[in-house]
Amino acid sequence: MLEKTPNSHASNKPHRVVTLAYDRLWPLEFGIAVEIFGWSRPEIIDVEWYDFTVAGPAEPIRTLGGMTMTPEHGYEVAADADTLIVPAWRDINERPPQDMLDAVKAAYDRGARIVSYCTGAFVLAHAGVLSGKRATTHWRDLAALKRAFPDVEIVEDVLYVDEGDVITSAGSSAAVDCSLHIIRTDFGAAIANQLARSLVTPPHREGGQSQYVEAPFQERSGQSVAGVLDWAREHLDKPLTIGDLADEAGMSERTFLRRFREGTGATPLKWLRRERVFRAMGLLEKTQLSLVDVSMQSGFGSVETFRTAFRDIAGTSPNAYRKRFELTA
């Protein structure tokens, strides 16, 4: 987990997010960055949001779909970024322009958090910031990234990889997962969940890219696990078993396990563990409950089990997480 928060700089200025643009830009991933980091949503989120900037070439640029746009700032402003986002790159076989690579390297050398969406990982690799690090990209291009940059440790079946100072994500929709992870890191689970609801998307998707390589699984009428997920979230404080979930779904345990994995990419126990940690995050942010009470209300059998699960998923201890948000009773 990255310990830097949006207002942690000595200047006390908002955390500055710079998103790079380029000619023949893919607008979907670029739009995700604008939508999530460039819009504060004051009607639902009462925190100081990011200072958002787009940086690109000095001349107008074209986008896929026939639009033309002119960035207000050149690539040089990337050096002042606290977080730099690189959307999907237009051609994995094309080396990005040197001024774009210099912008990425300058931000990285200054200590910025570098984020790539989809094939934006190729830009990061060309800039030299992925050397010796774990990274991912769209499943279709993983082999190409590995061939071109053997010094990068490719992680295949994930939606994003967080190396602290560098975060890479998979295909287009994984850019949303990655961005919500960043919001959760910077502002906590409650704010990330509010934003996810505003976007009408899950706060966190389980599983990796492999579930999307083949054609999506079509559930049979009357046999969906979707309702079970909502039911389980309402009963996380209970010692739920696979049998309980299967009964709620009206399936045999064997059928339920198969359909759950096909629908979520995870096992029920792994999914429950993460959801319980997310509930614990919210309790730590909003209350002064003891760790014993937080553990019980989140459905963990013991404080020791809770601490282990929390550190595995949140990357820090419950006490350290609570301290970051400086809550009062």
> Residue ranges of the domains in the chain?
16-199, 224-329
CATH number of 16-199: 3.40.50.880
- Nearest-10 crossing angle of helices 242-249, 268-286: 100
CA distance 257 to 253: 6
Q: 193 vs 90, which has greater pLDDT? A: 90
**Domain 224-329, CATH homologous superfamily name and number:** Homeodomain-like (1.10.10.60)
Q: What is the mean pLDDT of residues 211-235?
A: 60
Whether residue 220 is predicted with pLDDT greater than 50 in this model: the reply is: no
CA distance 174 to 159: 5
What is the number of other CB atoms lying within 10 angstroms of the CB of residue 91? 10
Question: pLDDT tens across 262-291, in order?
Answer: 777 678 998 899 889 989 988 998 888 999
> What element of type H or E holds 126?
helix 120-127
CA distance 85 to 114: 6
> Which residues, 6 or more positions from 218, have their beta carbon under 8 angstroms from its beta carbon?
none
Amino acid at position 291, single letter: L
What is the number of other CB atoms lying within 10 angstroms of the CB of residue 302? 11
| Distance of alpha carbon 306 from the chain centroid | 23
The closest of 113, 168, 105 to 135, measured between CA atoms, is: 168
What's the pLDDT band for 311 if we cut at 50, 70, 90? confident
Asked if the domains at 16-199 and 224-329 fall in one CATH topology, the answer is no
